Amino acid sequence: MDDATGIDVARTGNGRAALVLELRGICKVFPGVLALDDVDFNVRAGEVHALLGENGAGKSTLIKIVAGLYRRDGGVMTVDDQEVDFKSPAEAIGRGIKVVYQELDLVPGLSVAENVFLGHYPRTPRGLVDFAAMRARTSDLLRQLGLDLDPNTQVGELRVAEQQLVEICRALSVQTRLIVMDEPTSALSAAEVDTLFAVVSRLRERGVAIIYVTHKLDEIYRIADRVTIFRDGRRVVTKPIGETTPRHLVTWMVGRDLQDLFPKTPSQVGRPLLKVQDVNGSGLHDLNFTVHAGEVVGLFGLMGAGINTVGRALFGAIPRTGTVELDGLRVRPNAPRAAIARGMGLLTESRKDDGLVLPLSVRTNMTLAALDRFAALSWIRGAAESREAAAYVRQLGIKTPSLRQRIRYLSGGNQQKVLMARWLLRRQDLKVLILAEPTRGIDVGSKAEIYRLIGEMASRGLGILFMSTEIPEILGISDRILVLREGRVTAELVRADATQERLVAAAAVANAEGDQPAAAGATTDVVTGAAWQ
Amino acid sequence: MAVASDSRGLDASTTDRRPAGWRRAAGLARHEELSLAILFLIVVAFFVIVESSARSGGTYLGLLRDVSPNLIAGIGIALLLLSGEFDLSIGSMLAFTGVVTVATFNVTDNMWLGILAGLLTGPFIGAINGYLVTVQGMNSLMTTLGTMFALRGLVYVWTDKTPVIDQNGFTEFTRLYQGELGPVPVPGLIALALIGMFYVMVTRTEFGRNIYAIGGNRQAARVSGIKVQRATFALFVLSGTLAAVAGLLIASQTGTGYFDAGVQGFELIVIASAVLGGVSLAGGEGRLVSAMLGVLILGMTSKGLRLMNVHTTQQLVVTGIVMLVAVYIHRLRKDIVVRSREWS
């Protein structure tokens, strides 16, 4: 450990508030993996302690131990100075620990109030559920958090961000000392993030301890008091946030200095490959653009601007009108199969929904779209298939114990590489690759590798259409940038002219709902924002 | 939530602190076919100990004959389940096919025409199911429940609930079920041949691979260029056809088209067998051979009980309990596998 004292640093300005949770020497072993190796961690009342690390660093394991989902194999855990050993999540909740997971566990068909009090409904003297009291207390909680939600609304009708706040309300409906938030902002817009952070501040004032797990460094600087970084199951460092810089954080996370996140080489732009003319439908309006061989075209837009719709529409996964030509040949709408036959590939933005086939192996997932290459009269030549798959595992640096490993057990970054290989396997006829938010939810190290791969593919003459809501990566790897707003292209910028301000100006909703300054709409990742300018 | 853990290449032996016995158990449990085969042998061993007539080899050839309709229909069911769909109409198919076959015998006096007509009921009903599910987008559970009732009703109306007897007495037809090739019963041979054929299809062909992809993630399969609807339709036709083959065998058992063939939950027993063999009800997971072992386990149980002269009504109780125990063991096995694999 390059830092022996960090763990004892209390939040400055809060005196020495009581430790709510303390972990000492925690170990957790899974077959084949030492997931946590002698880890120390603590969090005080009224403190936001950020937990940072790449996928597989051990953050999730630590959270699950705290939540009572896993049992530790070694070390001591205390809550309010009493040693605890949770055998179930119920015991953790009983001690005032609440985890807000990325996948929320709310019942969509029930109202906000019913969800908040799920499992401990207030009763009338006759033993019936006291709906009036429940609604009143929910309104009260919502008010305390400064939220404008109706307790009678069905949770299924709320946006993800609002659902998340309902989860937090639920935590407050019982005596909660510690709230763990697992990447709470991954699906939120900038305005929603602001609301969430306002709530976090209120929680802090009430003396609730908060463990905040994230990938996004800018968030840490906005709300955290201390930060702890994990790598490979070990605690690398714990420091008050004021003593760190984004660049240090990244170096600690990755274990090496990431000098060049965007190794973009100017590529030879060749003939036009993808021609889009007057494409409408599915919320898109009058799209006209061209992607050339060897070119990376970035498609930027805020969440909800429809950037991912573009990919699906061109690919034929959702309806559209207008003309799409691939290398001079028209692509039939509404038929992914036809698009593939013409040489188009689509990496969808949602790995779990329409990318991965979770129960199947790495190899099977990889060769899904290219099976005809290994099949003679439908007969799959297994040896050839495995050889090709193994070649891509090596080439893309996919970390997997074997080709037969189920894809569900790979990290997000490695899953994404498998999906990229799915299209690269069609290299004979692949001409245009559409990548919808390929770096979403993956760690910095893997992001850098994916940027490198995109550059490589372009330099081999593929046309790349790259969609993202993150300005730094759009600026970093695109030769040309299209900005989309409400399904329309509002700006087209060449690399040399593109700046953050121009992108934001073109992307921001002209008539914002009043509370939202336009420039705050974009997700900026401080990894690049501060350290790589 | 998936545990994101890059396998960091640590050697299992250096970090796995669990006892060797546990690891061995995990290794065994992981091998699905082997653990099911052991379960089957345990059932066999039980009956061998308690019932002397279970000790002759002929019993097991008889078992093969008894379960052949379940094995054959089970192939289609297993494939449909793998693709994430259901077919509940196969029980009624048995009666429908049998009645059509024997009625055609009686009308045409031609055995081959009868067999052909019987076989054709399969793709016909399968295509109806497939059309409703893929083109009209109806839920397969409800659709095939509907065809199940409609077909059974149709058979009742048609036969007035009397068995349709083969007036020509085609002995060659009854040999289909009762005959033997060497020591092996003909229906068993048919079942084994079909299993072999479909095993190769599932494991070695594009179509087989696509079944898993469709069941595992329909959207991902579509976006990867797989013809999801066409494949699903084909699977319904296949399931219907295999059920028709099973129906032919049952009709040939007595040379009769019996209106109540398969009425005692044939479709549910076949589905239960496949699930017992590890085929996921959610689709995308499972193996054909395991599903077939599931059929054998349940088949052996009822065969053994019959040998012990347990009354049919009591048999039902015991079969139900055995099924629960087997599913419980299966769940335990899955637990061990998941625990050992989740993070390795």
| pLDDT tens for each residue of B277-329 | 888 888 888 899 999 999 999 999 889 988 888 888 888 888 888 878 877 87
* Confidence (pLDDT) at A7: 52
Q: Average pLDDT, whole number, for chain A?
A: 83
Give residues 369 to 388 of A whose Cβ lies within 8 Å of B.
369, 371-372, 375, 378-380, 382
How far away is chain B from the Cα of A515, in angstroms, using its nearest Cα?
35
> How many CB atoms neighbour CB A373 within 10 A?
17
- Whether the per-residue pLDDT at B9 is higher than 80: the answer is no
Counting the structural domains of chain A, the total is: 3
Residue-wise burial string across A4-42, b where 16 or more C-beta atoms lie within 10 A, e elsewhere:
eebbeebbeeeeeeebbbbbeebbbbbbbbbbbbebbbb
* Confidence (pLDDT) at A518: 37
> How many CB atoms neighbour CB B208 within 10 A?
19
Is A406 part of any domain? no
Which of B31, B204, B223, B287 to mutate to probe the A interface, most A CBs <10 Å? Answer: B223
Establish if B221 touches chain A: CB-CB under 8 angstroms: yes
- Whether the per-residue pLDDT at A50 is higher than 70: the answer is yes
Is A104 part of any domain? no
B196, burial (CB in 10 Å: exposed 0-12, middle 13-18, buried 19+): exposed
Of the ranges A55-59, A421-425, B49-53, B116-120, the best mean pLDDT one: B116-120
- Whether the per-residue pLDDT at A13 is higher than 50: the answer is no
CA angle A359, B328, B141 (to 5 degrees): 60
- Whether the per-residue pLDDT at B23 is higher than 80: the answer is no
Contact B10/A32, CB-based, under 8 Å? yes
- Please give the share of chain B, as a percent, with pLDDT higher than 70: 89
- Whether the per-residue pLDDT at B334 is higher than 80: the answer is no
Band of pLDDT at residue A33, cut at 50, 70 and 90? confident
Tokens 């791969």, residue? A453
- Of A189-193, A281-285, A435-439, A460-464, which gets the smallest average pLDDT? A189-193
Query: What is the rounded CA–CA span in Å between residue A62 and residue A213?
Result: 11
- Please give the share of chain A, as a percent, with pLDDT higher than 70: 90
Contact A132, A149 (CB under 8 A): no
- Whether the per-residue pLDDT at A403 is higher than 70: the answer is yes
Tokens 């389940």, residue? B81
Query: How high is the ipTM of this complex?
Result: 0.71
Residue A225 corresponds to which tokens in the numbers above? 């008091």
CA dist B254 → B45, B108, B261 (Å): 31, 19, 12
* Confidence (pLDDT) at B152: 96
Establish if B331 touches chain A: CB-CB under 8 angstroms: no
Is A213 part of any domain? yes
Which of B7, B214, B229 to mutate to probe the A interface, most A CBs <10 Å? Answer: B7
Q: Is A299 in the same domain as A442?
A: yes
Q: Is A441 in the same domain as A333?
A: yes
Q: Is A64 in the same domain as A136?
A: no
Band of pLDDT at residue A4, cut at 50, 70 and 90? very low
Sign for the CA dihedral angle at B167, B169, B172, B174 comes to: positive
Domain CATH code at residue A86: 3.40.50.300
Of the ranges A205-219, A497-511, B17-31, the best mean pLDDT one: A205-219
Q: Is A434 in the same domain as A335?
A: yes
Closest CA to B287 of B86, B92, B82: B82
Task: Determine the average pLDDT of the residues in A443-469.
Answer: 87
* Confidence (pLDDT) at B26: 62
The one-character DSSP state at A9 is: P
- Of A462-466, A473-477, B67-71, B236-240, which gets the smallest average pLDDT? A473-477
**Residue-wise pLDDT tens digits, A221-249:** 999 999 999 988 889 999 999 998 888 88
Q: Which residue has the higher pLDDT, B128 or B344?
A: B128
How far away is chain B from the Cα of A504, in angstroms, using its nearest Cα?
32
Query: What is the rounded CA–CA span in Å between residue B332 and residue A135?
Result: 43
* Confidence (pLDDT) at B19: 55
Closest CA to A42 of A1, A90, A77: A77
Domain boundary among A209, A225, A254: A254
Q: Is A298 in the same domain as A205?
A: no
Residue-wise burial string across A493-531, b where 16 or more C-beta atoms lie within 10 A, e elsewhere:
bebeebebeebbebbbeeeeeeeeeeeebbbbbbbbeeb
The residue in chain A having the minimum alpha-carbon distance to the alpha carbon of residue B207 is A378
Across chain B, where does the E strand assignment appear? 164-165, 180-181, 184-185, 256-257
Closest CA to B59 of B316, B312, B273, B303: B303
* Confidence (pLDDT) at A475: 87
- A412-424 and A444-459 helices, crossing angle to 10°: 10
Query: 0.80 cut: is pTM over it?
Result: no
The residue in chain A having the minimum alpha-carbon distance to the alpha carbon of residue B212 is A360
The residue in chain B having the minimum alpha-carbon distance to the alpha carbon of residue A355 is B220
* Confidence (pLDDT) at B329: 76
Q: Is A84 in the same domain as A190?
A: yes
Establish if A186 touches chain B: CB-CB under 8 angstroms: no
- Whether the per-residue pLDDT at B107 is higher than 90: the answer is yes
Query: What is the rounded CA–CA span in Å between residue A184 and residue A100?
Result: 8
Is A362 part of any domain? no
* Confidence (pLDDT) at A12: 42
* Confidence (pLDDT) at A512: 40
Which of A349, A360, A434 to mutate to probe the B interface, most B CBs <10 Å? Answer: A360
Band of pLDDT at residue B124, cut at 50, 70 and 90? very high
Q: Is A92 in the same domain as A196?
A: yes
Band of pLDDT at residue A179, cut at 50, 70 and 90? very high
Contact B223/A55, CB-based, under 8 Å? no
**Residue-wise pLDDT tens digits, B313-322:** 888 888 888 8
- Whether the per-residue pLDDT at A520 is higher than 80: the answer is no
Residue B336 CA to its chain's centroid (Å): 26
Contact B277, B287 (CB under 8 A): yes
Contact B219/A354, CB-based, under 8 Å? yes
Contact B69, B249 (CB under 8 A): yes
3-state per-residue secondary structure call for A467-499: EECEHHHHHHHCCEEEEEECCEEEEEEEHHHCC
**Residue-wise pLDDT tens digits, A333-380:** 888 888 998 999 999 888 878 888 888 999 999 998 888 888 877 788
* Confidence (pLDDT) at A527: 40
Query: What is the rounded CA–CA span in Å between residue A136 and residue A141?
Result: 9
> How many CB atoms neighbour CB A82 within 10 A?
8
Closest CA to B165 of B256, B258, B94: B256
* Confidence (pLDDT) at B80: 96
Is A397 part of any domain? no
Is A207 part of any domain? yes
* Confidence (pLDDT) at B49: 92
* Confidence (pLDDT) at A301: 86
Q: Which residue has the higher pLDDT, A205 or A173?
A: A205
Band of pLDDT at residue B120, cut at 50, 70 and 90? very high
Band of pLDDT at residue B341, cut at 50, 70 and 90? low
Q: Is A193 in the same domain as A170?
A: no
The secondary structure of A77-89 as a DSSP string is EEETTEE---SSH
- B111-130 and B140-159 helices, crossing angle to 10°: 150
Query: What is the rounded CA–CA span in Å between residue B297 and residue B45?
Result: 12
The residue in chain B having the minimum alpha-carbon distance to the alpha carbon of residue A372 is B206
Is A261 part of any domain? no
Is A423 part of any domain? no
Q: Is A22 in the same domain as A54?
A: yes
* Confidence (pLDDT) at B212: 92
Which residues sit opposite A299 in a β-bridge?
Answer: A467, A482
- Of B108-117, B147-156, B202-211, which gets the smallest average pLDDT? B202-211
Q: Which residue has the higher pLDDT, A27 or A412?
A: A27
Band of pLDDT at residue A516, cut at 50, 70 and 90? very low
Domain boundary among A223, A254, A285: A254
Which residues sit opposite A432 in a β-bridge?
Answer: A344, A463
How long a stretch of residues is chain A? 533
- Whether the per-residue pLDDT at A21 is higher than 50: the answer is yes
Q: Is A334 in the same domain as A219?
A: no
**Residue-wise pLDDT tens digits, B182-199:** 899 999 999 999 999 999
Q: Is A302 in the same domain as A344?
A: yes
- Of A97-101, B93-97, B134-138, which gets the smallest average pLDDT? A97-101
Contact A469, A307 (CB under 8 A): yes
Contact B209/A364, CB-based, under 8 Å? yes
Task: Determine the average pLDDT of the residues in A2-26.
Answer: 64
Q: Is A140 in the same domain as A56?
A: no
Across A206-271, where does the E strand assignment appear? 209-214, 226-231, 234-240
Sign for the CA dihedral angle at A418, A422, A428, A430 comes to: negative
CA dist B246 → A58, B80, B94 (Å): 54, 17, 7
Element (H, E) at B145: helix B140-159
Contact B91, B214 (CB under 8 A): no
The contacts of residue A41 (CB under 8 Å, 6+ apart) are: A7, A21, A22, A23, A26, A49, A51, A62, A228, A235, A238
Structural domain of residue A118, as residue ranges? 110-174
